[in-house]
Amino acid sequence: SAWLCAAASCTLDDEAVVSGVRRMSFAEMAKLARERGQPFAASGNSEGTPRSVGFNVQGFRVAVNKGTGEIKILRSVQAADAGIVANPMQCRGQVEGGVAQAIGAALYEEMVIDATGRVTNPKFRDYHLPSFADVPRTEVFFAETSDTIGPLGAKSMSESPYNPVTAALGNAIADATGIRFTAPPFKPDRLFPALHEKFGN
């Protein structure tokens, strides 16, 4: 049986619409709408909930071989605003791991897809993941802040140390060469043509 009520008097609760003491599940509503040939649609909004926002700043010093396009990272510095850092060793490891993973995306990793949509390098021997030797020592500095929402004043680091790395490497390469490369990964074969055009042999 159907019941009518003003939308303003309805609330959503556990996959059902509730108005006063009356309750109808979404499944029942969908079935009723189908039987009557009426569209089953809704609109709404969410203000969201307050949340902590971590910040990271990454800097690199690089050397670029103008004859080959090879990049060597000379220095890696990461500043992180993680609020009150409850476990500095673990958080430092999270930051270092994020930088290592992002260096892979920025300098090496490239999924090659042919015209039919097939991945042509589906094996790791053809897909360069960074090894220990590819990852520079990363200096990590924590900002002295405290968060009003996070537990004990802490903020989440999760993926945030990953985010600034490619842009920072792109900036460092531009500073070193005077050429702005915008499409990672910044592999030697991608850099070489522009370097050769600018610097010759």
Tens digits of residue pLDDT in 115-171? 999 999 999 888 999 999 999 999 999 999 999 998 999 998 889 999 999 999 999
Q: What is the dihedral of CA 12, 13, 19, 25, to 10 degrees?
A: 90
pLDDT for the residue 68? 95
pLDDT in tens, 15-25: 888 988 888 88
pLDDT in tens, 60-82: 999 999 999 999 999 999 999 99
pLDDT in tens, 87-119: 999 999 999 999 999 999 999 999 999 999 999
159 is catalytic: yes
Q: How confident is the model at residue 2 (pLDDT cuts 50, 70, 90)?
A: low
Domains of the chain as residue ranges with CATH = 1-44 (no CATH), 55-199 (3.30.365.10)
Cα separation, 99 vs 142, whole angstroms? 15
Catalytic residue among 109, 110, 159, 197: 159
160 and 92 Cβ atoms separated by less than 8 Å: no
